[in-house]
Amino acid sequence: MQKNTKLGWVGLGVMGEPMCHHLMVAGYPMSVFTRTRDKASRVVNDGAQWCDAPVDISNQCDVIFTMVGSEQEVREIYYSDNGLFAADITDKIFIDMGTTAPSLTLEIMRYATERGAQVIDAPVSGGDIGAKNASLSIMAGGDSETLKRVTGLFENLGSVQVMGESGSGQHTKMCNQIVVAGTMIGVCESLVYARQAGLDCEMLVAAIRRGAAGCWSLDNLAPRINKQDFSPGFMVDHFIKDLGIALSESEMMELNLPGLSLAKSLYEKVSDMGMGQNGTQALLLALKEK
């Protein structure tokens, strides 16, 4: 993409804000919208143009990124009277970097294609750390020629793996979340066990991370747990939403994934404890409850 390509960004949360900022640092002009304007303060102060509605983003920009939470929010951002699709979207490229149901991704893609636009699904993994360090894993699906055009943009955010046609990026993200869910149970149960056995939990992590137990969650979230830091890199309530999508898609494929069901139920317990806005490492609190 040329550096004069006008970019738009919708959704400036824990991960979206630093991702948007990386593209600005790379030299691209940026227009932004997010529901809570205060979250746009840094990027606006650094030169991004604030827009009062998503439709203004579509009117002004060539490539539009979205990164919002629930299915309702995704639909509102794209389909509402002031949404992205309320503008003439001919020749626009929309890139959804949030986690969206593959079935909804295909619906959005078909709607846009009929109106002369392209949609790429490119969900990410790596949490707030990956977003801040531009080291995200990006899982992309969509039209191959369009993907070639936007690869340079992705390189400012992390590393991209093209998975296939529309929806394949989101299916890949479901696989990612299934692995993360099971791994987080193991990490948290290991630390609960270690404390009960009288082990030094920091020494434990140092010991087992070099062996077969080594993983991203152990490296990045276990130290937070040991410091009783449950601030969100990725919120529990958002993770429950993702696991719900994975379960729904699994049922449509007639799959039975008991580990996924267990993980969702445990995270729902964390949310019921009032910890839904905390990070996924707050799972430890549910496991410690008698």
In DSSP notation, 46-105 reads TTPEE-SSHHHHHHH-SEEEE---SHHHHHHHHHSTTSGGGS--TT-EEEE-S---HHHH
The span from the CA of 21 to the CA of 48, in Å, is: 9
> Nearest Cα to 33, choosing from 54, 5, 64, 15?
54
The span from the CA of 170 to the CA of 179, in Å, is: 14
39 a catalytic residue? no
> Nearest Cα to 25, choosing from 3, 58, 54, 10?
3
Options 39, 173, 241, 264, the catalytic residue: 173
Q: Would you say how long the chain is, in residues?
A: 290
Catalytic center residues: 173
